[in-house]
Structure 1
Amino acid sequence: MKKVVSVIIPVYNVEEFIFRTVESVMNQDYKNIEIILVDDGSPDNSAKIIDELAKKDDRITCVHKENGGVSSARNAGLRIASGEYVTFIDGDDWVEPKYISYLLNLVESNKCEIGMNKNNYSDYNTKSNEEEYVVSAEKAIEWIYLGDIFVAVWNKIYSMQFLKKNNILFDEKIWYGEGMLFNIDCLQFVDSIAVGEKSVYHQVSNPNSAMRKFNVDSNLCGIRSLEIQKKHWRKSNPAIVDAWNYHRRAFNLSIVRGLLKSDIEQEYQELYDSCMNNLKKQLWISLKVPIPLREKLSYIAWAIIPSFMSKRCKNKVRIKIRKK
């Protein structure tokens, strides 16, 4: 396989991680790659680190720009990418040596324009197997909303010709839920995608990552992303509608838990009450979709005994604090 694969890595406040991230890409067993590092106005030493890395490998291109958010950074990378395919990696994560070759083989052997991986290594997952198959775009959309395929753009590969033909870029007004919006937009223009289940991507627990901290505005941005996605649908069926409604409702629980754990539910009382009411009113949505029984029982509990679940959520945080 002689095709060039572009690897785009947005860089912001990741000085502790970026060397390992880039080194893992430099050490890929598939060598025909270009590595585009986009410094999104990072205030730490990340910019200096990537400039030093670029001196060691002529496949690296560094872009330095004013801060505009992760969507802006990825778009800056897409605009200069010259590969036949593109994949994305977050600046605090790292990948196995076979990351590129695995994803490239996934799309090439299955003759698809998009490849998505179901599994990745994280604090919560060590699953991996050799399964790969082709599914319809509609099934992929449903799986993304249900969480069977992770919403982010990392751990996936896209044909650059396909992206350019359909004028698909990241919405720069969306900084949370931007990956899901990009993926859902892509899936409107294909009939099927290749799916793999071999873990080749390591998602790192970075407590300083803006994407992994609870933030009210970010969660509300994620809800806006969901609403935009629905407006962009060209493909829809009852299963997709149910899955979208489930994901929309899951944001209510995410916000409730986030407010409780941050001890700011009284500061956002109106939002908290609204989310709790939605959890009570729309229980049927979570019971209808194919999610694990344990998750369904959790939704039932939040709807029937909300005060108990709220206290339980806050007590868990207090126990963690005491342990520290």
Structure 2
Amino acid sequence: MGDMTTLTLVIPTYNLGHYFDETLQTIADQTVEFELWLVDDHSTDGTAEKASDFVSGRPTFHVERFKQHRGVSAARNFGLAHATGDVIAFADGDDQLDPDYVKTLVNGFKNGVVAVAVGYLWWHTTIDQRNVYLPMSQREMFKQVSHRGTDVGGYIWNKAYSLAAIREANLQFDESLSIAEDYLFTASYVAKTPGVYVYDPALRYTKVNRPGSTIHTRNLHDQRVEEQVFSYIRRLGESI
């Protein structure tokens, strides 16, 4: 991909309230150019209008407004289908990006690299926060993304993926899942995509704990679904 790697950032939005203002500011503060898709999942609180205002006058920034609520995976899949970058990243609409978030992701795509991960601030914060690209094999990366509590994690918001590799593997987000869809996507990508992976532990993404978000509303059914997803992921690992 060389030095001119282009990135598409996809951000689903849904009734984000004041949290969205801070996220938009961190998007505006990015230090390199990129394509943006804000995909609004039928917000009713003014979030969609904020998104439209934000992209106005920015030719590489786009907004899509769903006419009905379809879920976060449908929103990500829309962005995936419309992305034109060499690589794609996904963020959540209530989180905060370091100014060098996009730059760090883009600059890692050299010499056969197929995905780049960055450090994040949440319940688990990496101890080693050097700004350096640490290479990983496909097997090493799979071990990181298929287990909870690892430095890299299976989350999608601290990573960028090769768009060509996603399309070659025919990958999408599973719209039937309301939980663990990120782990399933990331683990499936790694299982199906041989190549070099890199991880930069410098903190480039801050996860904001918002009351009412999925992580705070899990029930017994969700836990069973999550167990089934992780069981499938373990089987995926046997193919590497």
Same fold by TM (over 0.5)? Answer: yes
Aligned to 2:47: 46
Structure 1 residues 123 and 232, CA, compared in 2 at 3 Å: closer, same or farther?
Answer: closer
Structure 1 residues 229 and 126, CA, compared in 2 at 3 Å: closer, same or farther?
Answer: closer
SS of the aligned residue for 1:100 comes to: helix
Q: Is the deviation greater in 137-146 or in 171-180?
A: 137-146
State which of 152, 156, 165 in structure 2 corresponds to 1:153.
156
Aligned to 1:254: none
Contact 1:15 1:49 in 2 (8 A): no
Deviation at 1:111, TM superposition (A): 3.0
Cα distance in structure 1, aligned partners of 2:101 and 2:195? 25
Matches within 5 A, 1:64-83: 64-65=65-66, 66-83=68-85
Structure 1 gap ranges (5+):
237-324
Contact 1:19 1:50 in 2 (8 A): no
Tell me which structure has the larger Cα radius of gyration: 1
State which of 169, 174, 187 in structure 2 corresponds to 1:171.
174
Aligned to 1:322: none
SS of the aligned residue for 1:204 comes to: coil
Structure 1 residues 116 and 235, CA, compared in 2 at 3 Å: closer, same or farther?
Answer: farther
Contact 1:134 1:193 in 2 (8 A): yes
Matches within 5 A, 1:232-251: 232-233=236-237, 235=239
Cα distance in structure 2, aligned partners of 1:191 and 1:70? 28
Aligned to 1:193: 197
Matches within 5 A, 1:296-315: none
- Matched residues, number: 233
Contact 2:86 2:162 in 1 (8 A): yes
Structure 1 residues 54 and 191, CA, compared in 2 at 3 Å: closer, same or farther?
Answer: closer
Aligned to 1:286: none
Deviation at 1:183, TM superposition (A): 0.7
Cα distance in structure 1, aligned partners of 2:52 and 2:98? 23
Cα distance in structure 1, aligned partners of 2:176 and 2:231? 13
Contact 2:10 2:76 in 1 (8 A): yes
Contact 2:114 2:195 in 1 (8 A): no
Cα distance in structure 2, aligned partners of 1:42 and 1:222? 27
Cα distance in structure 1, aligned partners of 2:212 and 2:123? 16
Aligned to 1:319: none
Give the structure with the larger helix fraction. 1
Write out per-residue CA displacement over residues 117-167 of structure 1, whole angstroms, 9 at most, x where no aligned residue: 2x2123653742223221112112222315212221011011111111111
- Structure 1 runs of 4+ off > 4 angstroms? none
Aligned to 2:36: 35
Aligned to 2:217: 213
Structure 1 residues 174 and 142, CA, compared in 2 at 3 Å: closer, same or farther?
Answer: same
Deviation at 1:17, TM superposition (A): 1.4
Deviation at 1:213, TM superposition (A): 3.2
Structure 1 residues 122 and 146, CA, compared in 2 at 3 Å: closer, same or farther?
Answer: closer
Cα distance in structure 2, aligned partners of 1:3 and 1:131? 19
SS of the aligned residue for 1:107 comes to: coil
Cα distance in structure 1, aligned partners of 2:169 and 2:125? 34
Deviation at 1:233, TM superposition (A): 4.1
Structure 2 gap ranges (5+):
none
Matches within 5 A, 1:82-121: 82-108=84-110, 110-117=111-118, 119-121=119-121
SS of the aligned residue for 1:113 comes to: strand
Contact 2:6 2:106 in 1 (8 A): no
Aligned to 1:295: none
Matches within 5 A, 1:13-32: 13-31=15-33
Give the structure with the larger strand fraction. 2
Aligned to 1:290: none
Contact 2:142 2:237 in 1 (8 A): no
SS of the aligned residue for 1:147 comes to: coil
SS of the aligned residue for 1:174 comes to: coil
> What is the root-mean-square deviation in Å for CA atoms of aligned residues?
1.9
Q: Percent identity?
A: 23
Cα distance in structure 1, aligned partners of 2:125 and 2:38? 28
Contact 1:39 1:63 in 2 (8 A): yes
TM-score, scaled to structure 2 = 0.89
Cα distance in structure 2, aligned partners of 1:152 and 1:134? 19
